[in-house]
Structure 1
Amino acid sequence: MDGAVERVDWLTGGSRRDAATERIYAAAAALLDERGFEAVTVEDVAARAGCSRATLYRYVGGRDAILDGVITRAAAAVATEVSEAVASLNGSERIVEAILTSVRAVRANPALHTWFAGSRTRSVDDYLASSPRLGSIAAGLTGLAPTDAAAQWTVRVVLALLTWPMPDPAAERQLVERFVAPAFA
């Protein structure tokens, strides 16, 4: 709100903007889980959220902003889990655990798992692989510099394991320890 102080809404008990935004993102996440990104329209999300398209655009933005918001929220939940798992680790050990915990957490997150279990389009893969937000999250979790290309590379390693899973977690660990860890030793 451009410089204005937002009041506590009597109906929501908090910020009306926050309540609307969360409702829209929850509706979008459910639809993306059910249909996939390419099959969901702004009209679908507005209808599921129980608001008009104008309200959706005012609070969230268009289709790309919806995708970004859903991914950012899901990634934040994964980042919290990964952060706790790697808190006491450093160097290549931290990077290995960050990658493997990310893979486990994404697979356990309904909003994200559906994307990787099913087919995705090239545009979604390109978005995920080059997302500055995901790169920034990866940098923070691995201890790499945010501008370091290695942060984007670790995102791509996670995406590769999600897209082409190994037979079991032990095989994935062995692969990451053998080929990724030496790059950061």
Structure 2
Amino acid sequence: MVTSDWLVGPDRHREAAERIYAAADELLIRHGWDAFSIDVLAARVHCSPATIYRHAGGKTAIRDVVLRRQAERILASVREAIAGLTGPERVVTATVVALQRLRADPLAKVIRSLAPSPGEEWLADSPIVTRFADEMIGLDTPNPLAAQWLVRTFLALWHWPLKDADAEARMVRRFLGPPYAVDIAE
């Protein structure tokens, strides 16, 4: 019987990393961050811990890639939802869709356990998060103040969701939308 060795071939680094990240994704969903370890991951993908480190890095690097990939899936659906929208409708739709997708994603519980509370500045001040907020606002020129308002509002809604999703959507439309109806270019 011929088998395909995932550690042999021209794309072995990429293939190994993909297999490792997929297994890490599954392990994180099933057991959470605290139970996640390189040894458990290595056993799951049938390789040594050294192979994990060589192709995917350590626990923190793997976590970052898994979270980035999850965020990219959510962002793709948000981008699709806001295509062609401008102003307050763009911001409201981006916020509501991002919250819905994040809450429905199986990794959301893991991410929330790892994410800081809204008062911790590193996430709110992240250039990656700020660039995403600028994209959701849809301005030609980035507006750091408007982006920070959106980021901080989103983090608050994510950490403290309303039990009634329709009421939350109405609240976002009423209170988050209007600031983006005016010229926010400063």
TM-score normalised to structure 1 length: 0.77
Aligned pair partner of 2:131 in 130, 136, 155: 136
AA aligned opposite 2:131: S
Aligned pair partner of 2:62 in 60, 63, 66: 66
List 4+ stretches of structure 1 deviating above 4 A.
Answer: 10-14, 121-131, 144-147
How far apart in 2 are the matches of 1:26 and 1:64?
A: 15
Evaluate the alpha carbon distance shift between residue 26 and residue 164 of structure 1 in structure 2; reply closer, same or farther with a 3 A threshold: same
Question: Identity of aligned pairs, percent?
Answer: 41
Equivalent in the alignment of 2:184: none
Two-structure CA RMSD over aligned residues (Å) = 2.7
How far apart in 2 are the matches of 1:115 and 1:74?
A: 10
In the alignment, structure 1 segments of 5+ residues that lack a partner are: 1-9
Equivalent in the alignment of 1:99: 95
1:106 CA displacement: 1.1
Equivalent in the alignment of 1:5: none
Asked if 1:167 corresponds to 2:160, the answer is: no
Task: Note if contact 1:79-1:141 (Cα within 8 Å) is conserved in structure 2.
Answer: no
AA aligned opposite 2:130: G
1:149 CA displacement: 4.6
Equivalent in the alignment of 1:81: 77
Larger radius of gyration: 2
Evaluate the alpha carbon distance shift between residue 81 and residue 122 of structure 1 in structure 2; reply closer, same or farther with a 3 A threshold: closer
Length, aligned pairs only: 173
Evaluate the alpha carbon distance shift between residue 15 and residue 134 of structure 1 in structure 2; reply closer, same or farther with a 3 A threshold: farther
TM-score normalised to structure 2 length: 0.77
Evaluate the alpha carbon distance shift between residue 121 and residue 109 of structure 1 in structure 2; reply closer, same or farther with a 3 A threshold: closer
